[in-house]
Amino acid sequence: MKKITILILCALALVVKVAAQQNSVGVFEGHGDVGNPVLQGNTVYNTADQTYLLSAAGKNVWAKQDQFQFAWKKIKGDFIIKATVHFIGNGVAGHRKLGVMVRDKLTTDSRYIDGTFHGGLPLNTSMQYRQTDGDSTGQLLVAAIHPTEIEFERNGNIFTFSATTSGENYKSVTKEIELNEEAYVGIYLCSHVDSVIEKAIFSNVRVIIPPAKNYKPYTDYIGSHLEVMDVATGLRKILYSAPNSLQAPNWTPDNKNLLYSSEGLLYKYNLKTGSVEKINTGAADDLNNDHVLSMDGKMLGISNHLGGKSTIFILPATGSDKPEQITSDTLIPSYLHGWSPDKKRLIFTGLRNKQWDIWAIDIATKKETALTNDITLDDGAEYTPDGKWIYFNSVRTGTMKIWRMKPDGSNPEQVTFDESNDWFPHISPDGKWIVYISFSKDLDPTTHPFYQKTYIRILPVNGGAPKNIAYVYGGQGTINVPSWSPDSKQIAFISNTQIK
């Protein structure tokens, strides 16, 4: 009888452990300890700031057996997973580890590959892997010291681990390894001392399913997250998600709403209630993502396709049945980007004289004035709050870079100088900062690319070095329009993933 009771208790313990592993947490389907450490770990999701607190013991993730806490979801096919990470406290062992892992099974000796950051060893950020069940672990070092930003990507059986400290660009290593097409993907922590519990915070966790490799831009869209970020801390929060394309959030000056475009229409997200409401734009119902509020928030400018040509209209920010047409639809396209602080002029990118330049138009007279005259693309123009400068992006040097000029188009000056392609400069309401999006140097700078790994960068208006403040999967529609909060402390943007 005693033996039967023990067997029943063991069976119940196993059921409890398996059930615990299946409990969903945040974006993950389950969590639990792998390898049966002496001390039990845990994963706790904070819904307020969307962070994950992992606690774990475990001897190691190495050699032929692993012990660690794992928050996971099963993913079939390609993915990207990103996170901002840090250990809590100084720790006991220099080899305590955290990271992102892809694993065939939840057994201690399973085949796997991960991206790992060792807490006390400055030169031991690495990709670790076990090529067959029960095999010894191998590793590839990454040239990143005590990283705070990590990213792990699967492309077939090619895996890439990228890491860096906040503000810098990723450093990467790549490894080919055969794993199941559907695998356990998630974040993990190991103390490296079986009798010690360590803790770590994972924030800005994003599990990204990219589009199909043969997707057609402007035809095939994936889902969207509407996000806000505290610029000082880097903490991001997803406010709203949709399975279709949301683009270009614009923060209202009264700090009540975010405006965004979707499928030719304009919507308002209420920051207090989380409700979404369509904005009435009348017959202008084929909008692109070039919508801009006047600096006082009372008027709204939109670019609407009229007869297949992007044409600029204005209307009250509350909506209207009859928006006022500003540019002529007999001219080749006009794409709105900014209001002058006095609301008397709009600036836009227009195709005139067989080239794309930045133009100003007087709202009262409808008279257009060319501010640039260059055979290469000039785009994304925006006034500073004091009206003394217009910032824009231009490919006149061969790479898309940020520039500025006087309101009459004089005194053009280049602002960014590195190898990346930089788009859409937005000036903070207090006039101190420029935020913009940067793409790889390998992209065609005359395009507006969707679904890329990008950096959102910040730069002091008075000069200085730019730094990365967000590592985002997005592109076209991520941050096309002015998106600063009124107090200049937050920005809004769109990130992308397939959402079922």
Report the C-alpha gap between 489 and 500 in whole angstroms: 32
The angle subtended at Cα 261 by Cα 353 and Cα 290, nearest 5°, is 25
CA 91 to chain centre: 31
DSSP secondary structure string for all residues of 90-138? S-S-TT-EEEEEEES-SSTT--EEEEEEETT-TT-EEEEEESSTTPPPE
Report percent pLDDT > 70 for the chain: 95
Report which of residues 47 and 124 the model is more confident about: 47
Residues 6+ apart with CB under 8 A from 248: 260, 261, 289, 290, 291, 477, 479, 480, 481, 483, 494
- Least confident piece of the model among 15-24, 78-87, 123-132: 15-24
**Residue 347, both tokens:** 């600036």
Domains of the chain: 28-208 (2.60.120.200), 223-497 (2.120.10.30)
Closest CA to 74 of 42, 37, 101: 101
Q: In the predicted model, is pLDDT for residue 61 greater than 50?
A: yes
DSSP 16: H
Closest CA to 218 of 255, 280, 263: 263
Maximum average pLDDT range among 112-121, 440-449, 476-485:
476-485
Helix (H, G, I), strand (E, B) or coil at 380: strand
Per-residue pLDDT tens digits for 283-318: 999 999 999 999 999 999 999 999 889 999 999 999
Per-residue pLDDT tens digits for 316-370: 999 999 999 999 877 689 999 999 999 999 999 999 989 999 999 999 999 999 9
> Which parts of 233-284 are beta strand (E)?
236-242, 247-251, 257-262, 265-270, 276-278
Task: Give me the pLDDT at residue 24, please.
Answer: 83
Task: Give me the pLDDT at residue 379, please.
Answer: 97
The model carries a pTM of 0.93
Report percent pLDDT > 90 for the chain: 89
Mark residue 464 as left, alpha or beta (left: phi above 0; alpha: psi -120 to 50; beta: remaining): left
Strand order in the sheet with 309-316: 292-293, 299-306, 309-316, 324-325
**Residue 246, both tokens:** 């949301």
Report the C-alpha gap between 281 and 261 in whole angstroms: 12
The angle subtended at Cα 138 by Cα 132 and Cα 143, nearest 5°, is 140
